[in-house]
Amino acid sequence: MDQVASLNTAFHVTVAQAAGNAYLELVAAPVLQRAQWVFLRTAAKRAPHSWREHAAVLEAITSGDEDAAEAAARSHVAAAQESFLAAIAKLRTGTEH
């Protein structure tokens, strides 16, 4: 799973760099590093969904469709957030399996 987490981080950092948004690039890596422990707990279940979401983001970026890229990125972040919050809740209640 460590390799999956590394690839996930690399994808997000690369997208942030390609966006040409210095602020996004500045905050992306530290946020991803802090979130990695949750990612490792959710990766087995979430990875197939993440890869499809990443593919949608990448397709929109490479086709030059900014609106679609934004929509795909927002959808991915929302889905990941939901998964991460559920994982954190399970850790807090001791119901993680």
pLDDT, one tens digit per residue, over 61-97 is 999 999 999 999 999 999 999 988 988 898 888 876 5
In this prediction, residue 84 carries a pLDDT of: 86
* Residue-level pLDDT at 96: 63
| Predicted confidence (pLDDT) per residue in 7-66, tens digit | 888 999 899 998 888 999 899 888 888 888 777 878 778 889 999 999 999 999 999 999
Secondary structure (H, E, C), the chain: CHHHHHHHHHHHHHHHHHCCCHHHHHHHHHHHHHHHHHHHHHHHHHHHHHHHHHHHHHHHHHCCCHHHHHHHHHHHHHHHHHHHHHHHHHHHHCCCC
